[in-house]
Amino acid sequence: EPEVTQTPSHQVTQMGQEVILRCVPISNHLYFYWYRQILGQKVEFLVSFYNNEISEKSEIFDDQFSVERPDGSNFTLKIRSTKLEDSAMYFCASSDTGTGVYEQYFGPGTRLTVT
Amino acid sequence: LAKTTQPISMDSYEGQEVNITCSHNNIATNDYITWYQQFPSQGPRFIIQGYKTKVTNEVASLFIPADRKSSTLSLPRVSLSDTAVYYCLVGGHNAGNMLTFGGGTRLMVKP
């Protein structure tokens, strides 16, 4: 069964550093998303991406965040200058344009620890 | 966006049927009801989706009354591996729609 993959599984960085989280969505999917989950809290939407541009973004997704699809397979989330409160699990997801059931397929997540 | 309310936690025993009910009084006409499952340190996983009446797949059943103000996820004969957080989501059905997660129901299945 096709799956979304994410790398790295765990990233430790110092406050103020830039990080790039990588995702490989399911190959025939055209919609891509990033969510985050702070430990013990809800899964929160960050951004959706379609046709090489951002479709929707939440208040969390401020100027410190950016997304990119640098090639035909990868989808990245960059945090320009990390803060302690960016420590969370970051989940990438993808979905197709099919009719019928609408579901998003989530990756296993990257645990980001900012020290 | 329709707000959802579901129990914070539930306990069950192996082999039992588990029913988790979600309230969504402000559901809009175009909204679908979707349930996701999340194991610790993993991404959410789609379980089932419906608009009205009953939907069944190999994993679960979803019951939606005529007024659509609530829904019930039914897990038949749970096992220890069904211990997870279950999220009820209400929203659009179109590709690209963001998912809005609430607090979910933490199901603990005991031997």
Task: Tell me which of B62, B97, B100 to substitute to probe the interface with A (most A C-beta atoms closer than 10 Å).
Answer: B97
By Cβ distance, the residue of A31, A95, A108 closest to B42 is A108
| Residues of chain A predicted below pLDDT 50 | none
What's the pLDDT at B1?
64
Identify the CATH number of the domain defined by range B9-110.
2.60.40.10
Q: Which residues of A touch B92 (CB under 8 A)?
A: 102
Asked whether residue B41 carries a pLDDT value surpassing 90, the answer given is no
Which two tokens mark B75? 């897990």
By C-alpha distance, which of A17, A34, A16 is closest to A25? A34
What's the pLDDT at A102?
85
Task: Name the minimum distance, in Å, from the CA of A47 to any CA of chain B.
Answer: 8
By Cβ distance, the residue of A96, A102, A109 closest to B42 is A109
B96/A48 touch (CB, cutoff 8 Å), yes or no: yes
Average pLDDT value over all residues in chain B: 94
Domain spans, chain A: 5-96
Domain spans, chain B: 9-110
Identify the CATH number of the domain defined by range A5-96.
2.60.40.10
- Whether chain B has a CB inside 8 Å of the CB on A60: the answer is no
A103/B42 touch (CB, cutoff 8 Å), yes or no: no
Rounded to 5 degrees, φ, ψ at B38 are -135, 125
Which two tokens mark A52? 């090489």
What's the pLDDT at A2?
85
What's the pLDDT at B92?
83
Q: What is the mean pLDDT of residues B98-105?
A: 93
Q: Among A34-48, B71-85, B87-101, which is the least confidently predicted range?
A: B87-101
Token pair 């960050």 in the structure block, residue: A46
Q: What is the mean pLDDT of residues B2-18?
A: 95
Asked whether residue B74 carries a pLDDT value surpassing 90, the answer given is yes
